[in-house]
Amino acid sequence: MIRLPITLIIIFAISSCLFQETDIIDKEKIISNTLIVSSEDLIRDYRKYPHDDSNILLSEIKLDYKFDQPWGIEFLNDNSIILTEKKGYLSHINLKTKTVHRVKHNIPSIQEGQGGLLDLLYHKDFLYLSFTIKNNQGKTTTAIGRGKFTEPFKELKNFQIIFTALPFINDGKHFGSRLLILNEHLYASIGERGQGSIAQDPQAHPGSIIRINLNGTIPSDNPFSKEKKEWLPEIFQIGVRNPQGMAISPDNQIYISNHGAKGGDFIGKIKGGGNYGWNEIGWGGTNYIGTKIGTGQSFKPEFTTPILTWVPSIAPSDIVFYLGDEFPEWNGNLLITSLKYKMLIKIALKEHKVKTELIILKDKIGRIRDVDINSKGEIFLITDEKNSSIWKLTKTEKLKITDVISKY
């Protein structure tokens, strides 16, 4: 891709694809065989998206316990989920018996502002968690640790902190954080704690994506070992505000979702040594009081460009690339949860550019915090609510077939 100051030039072979959802081609100007896309055309308005939930069946999983602001879910297998609640509870859920059991642990998380016990990830017998900790001056930060379960998931033992974002900050905002493992490296998204320009400081973790080995040591090929000698060794990319979603694409690239300010929430790929530009640019957004962010430019060529941004903000939380047999036509599509507008959005990408956008769920279950998919391709959601539950999305037709069979 050749990038010019205001314009992205993309060589585009006009295909005969029929887009069944929102087609973005009408936003673009075709000049001979070269498609000129203004950077401003990366900015989307969710209110223009089609909304189609005719294909899906939403069902609540009736458990013997209601959750208080759950933050993350992780499948151990199709019958077994581990779930975090911000206030520090870790639970094991048996989907067969519909029972919830509290897991004993000694994770030193505290709930404060947007912080608490946050994301979790199970990998090779270890449970990795991100959470908020407080120091003896009362300042807080995002930390990551891991432990191992005793059988059968009654207790998390030998818990060790493997990363602490520095510095600790006296603010309750923007802790991030999602966890993801790719090629035996742990990636985590670290929020900028409401401190703005700290995201441009490669000597501070807030406002960055970090990459560490699974035991917390530093990979030898992180940016600091190459062209970014002044960066902290854990930092992989800088210039993000509050990234709360991470996902691996079918071709093994890592995508994040990121909260902008008033407008400017985005989805983008991460890039080692890259800088998304916060708070020198705002990806189409403004400060909450309406003043411009930085010079007021939405994008600048020296910064990594998202694949799309939303104005107004949708408050995106987790993202996941769909893979499964339940909705085979969605394979490879990106699912995005929205807290603010209580939506699940699906976007289809082609060569890492957005092709179609669709709302597949809205205003049914509350502020959607996390999404996960089981091995059958059924989609599971949790909401950032009190007395919350776990919801499942399956295909409507399947229910109809099952109903017919059960009558005979």
Q: Which of 234, 265, 370, 385 binds Ca ion (CB under 5 A)?
A: 370
CB atoms within 10 A of CB 343: 23
Q: Return the number of the residue (118 or 232) whose C-beta is nearest Ca ion.
A: 118
Report the nearest approach of Ca ion to the CB of residue 119 (Å): 8
Q: Return the number of the residue (228 or 259) whose C-beta is nearest Ca ion.
A: 259
d(CA 161, CA 216): 8
- On whether the CB atoms of residues 87 and 105 are closer than 8 A, the answer is no
Residue type, 274: G
Report the nearest approach of Ca ion to the CB of residue 39 (Å): 30
Q: Which helix (H) or strand (E) holds 269?
A: strand 265-269
Considering CB under 5 A, how many residues would be counted as binding Ca ion? 3
Q: Which helix (H) or strand (E) holds 399?
A: helix 396-406
Report the nearest approach of Ca ion to the CB of residue 294 (Å): 31
d(CA 165, CA 147): 19
- Stretch of residues binding Ca ion (CB under 5 A), selected from 61-69, 162-170, 364-372, 373-381: 364-372
Q: Which of the residues 218 through 277 are near Ca ion (CB under 5 A)?
A: none
Q: Return the number of the residue (118 or 199) whose C-beta is nearest Ca ion.
A: 118
**CA dihedral sign, ordered 273, 274, 277, 282:** negative
Query: Which residue's Cβ lies closest to Ca ion?
Result: 318
Hunting for tokens 């016990």 — which residue is that?
117
Q: Return the number of the residue (180 or 204) whose C-beta is nearest Ca ion.
A: 180
Q: Which of the residues 283 through 322 are near Ca ion (CB under 5 A)?
A: 318
Report the nearest approach of Ca ion to the CB of residue 82 (Å): 12
Q: Return the number of the residue (8 or 314) whose C-beta is nearest Ca ion.
A: 314
Listed residue (95, 16, 50, 48) closest to 380, CA to CA: 95
Active site positions, annotated? 174
Contact between 384 and Ca ion per CB under 5 A: no
d(CA 143, CA 212): 13
Report the nearest approach of Ca ion to the CB of residue 178 (Å): 7
Q: Return the number of the residue (370 or 385) whose C-beta is nearest Ca ion.
A: 370
Report the nearest approach of Ca ion to the CB of residue 69 (Å): 16
Q: Which of 85, 372, 378, 384 binds Ca ion (CB under 5 A)?
A: 372
β-pair partners for 104: 155
381: Cβ contacts below 8 Å, ≥ 6 apart: 337, 344, 361, 365, 368, 370, 371, 390, 391, 392, 393
Long-range CB contacts (within 8 A, 24+) of 329-336: 332/250, 334/247, 334/249, 334/255, 334/267, 335/360, 335/371, 335/379, 336/245, 336/257, 336/267
Binding site residues, Ca ion, CB under 5 A: 318, 370, 372
